[in-house]
Homo-oligomer: A and B are copies of this chain.
């Protein structure tokens, strides 16, 4: 399969991936390993918190989102990785039983200053629920290989 290069992305491109079911078991298992706070582990304890009931760790939502974009497009590109994430927003609790989708929007593209064989594509990635409400979003610049000099198919 031919890979997608930096040149294949242009600002304004939107794509949707999913759906994927987020189960209570997955929420609790993730929290037990990485974010053992009461609101992510136990329904009764969670009811007394701002979340008002059991909800996934915000980091869990980021990881699910990452998996969905890896399957959705990142692994079909010449991605060289990302230096980080600009902003992560946890906007709505991710409840057990939610069918999530991911919406990606290309915000901008620019050549790399230091690597002539590479360019950056800056994406907004949003996890949305059945009501199209945004649960979690982040913005990240992904480095992709450019066609031509230095490009490997």
- What is A's interface to B at a CB cutoff of 8 Å? 33-37, 39, 49-51, 57-59, 62-64, 66-67, 70-71, 74-75, 79-90, 143
Residues from chain B with Cβ under 8 Å of A36 in the complex: 67, 70-71, 75
Main secondary structure of the interface of A (DSSP, over half): mixed
Select which of B35, B51, B74, B83 is within 8 A of A63 by beta carbon: B35
Query: How many copies of this chain does one complex carry?
Result: 2
Q: Most chain-B Cβ atoms within 10 A of its Cβ — which of A36, A39, A85, A90?
A: A85
Residues from chain B with Cβ under 8 Å of A70 in the complex: 35-37
Residues from chain B with Cβ under 8 Å of A88 in the complex: 84-85, 88
A144 to B: closest C-beta gap in Å: 12
B87 touching A82 by the CB < 8 A rule?
A: no
17 extra interchain contacts, Cβ-Cβ under 8 A, other than A35-B67, A36-B75? A33-B63, A36-B71, A37-B74, A37-B75, A37-B79, A49-B80, A50-B143, A57-B66, A58-B85, A59-B62, A62-B62, A63-B63, A82-B90, A83-B89, A84-B87, A85-B85, A85-B87
